[in-house]
Amino acid sequence: MSAAAERAGAPVLIGEAMTGGYGAADILHECTIAVEKGEIAVIVGPNGAGKSTAMKAVFGMLPLREGRVRLNGRDITKLSPQARVAEGMAFVPQNNNIFPSLSVEENLEMGAFLRDDDFSGTMAQVFDLFPILKEKRRQAAGELSGGQRQQVAVGRALMTRPGVLMLDEPTAGVSPIVMDELFDRIIEVARTGISILMVEQNARQALEIADKGYVLVQGRNRFTDTGAALLADPEVRRSFLGG
């Protein structure tokens, strides 16, 4: 990011007034999602609200009819997802996010496929963040628990040394204890200066760790505020957080 953009507090990543969908039907309607450096931004909302669609649009997996996406102030709207990875974005999908037959260590090595430098230091950082992965690094990733597989998926994304880490429902199908642990690790990642953009069904817990929250309804921004402010908003609590 340019020094001027950083001084102005411009977001590291913004999908601005995004309108688009699959085929003729638009799912997103002038939807804006942004995240600043080292910030955790969370997208929540009811089922079918367009949360994952918004994430995919920001990552270039969904064509936009209107709007644009900027990374570090540069327009990347036309870039492919692969090109966005090379520019410093990493995306962890909800499903099929590991190579189950490969070992944990081999999965992490696959995450470094774009790098031609020594990535052993990054792998050591991943093992520091997720000690269980170091313990099980020779084990096939498919043999791990759901929470451990998610740690592999996040670790593999971190091997690209991203500036922005995007997580689509990282706690889907894991126990509350594992969810809390994953959220703790996500906070640690953000503290290193990496920006986190996350879609979550566990809205209340996600907003508790969020610097910024976006509540989407039918592909539109309904509420945007800090996580704490959204948790305290009576209408948000009544409509989206179960009271």
Domain annotation covers residue 101:
no
Residues ≥6 apart with Cβ < 8 Å to 219: 21, 26, 27, 28, 29, 31, 49, 50, 53, 54
pLDDT at 6: 46
Domain annotation covers residue 7:
yes
59: containing domain: 1-79+203-243
Amino acid at 222: R
Domain annotation covers residue 49:
yes
Domain annotation covers residue 37:
yes
pLDDT at 9: 64
Secondary-structure percent of the chain, ordered helix, strand, coil, rounded to 5: 40, 25, 35
* Domain count of the fold of the chain: 1
Domain annotation covers residue 45:
yes
Domain annotation covers residue 108:
no
Tokens of 110: 């696959």
Average pLDDT of each block of 10 consecutive residues along the chain (243 residues)?
49 97 91 97 94 96 95 96 95 92 96 88 95 97 94 96 96 91 95 96 95 97 97 95 76
The rounded distance, in Å, linking the Cα atoms of 36 and 9 is 8
Domain CATH for 67: 3.40.50.300
Domain annotation covers residue 239:
yes
Neighbours of 71 (CB within 10 A): 20
pLDDT at 2: 41
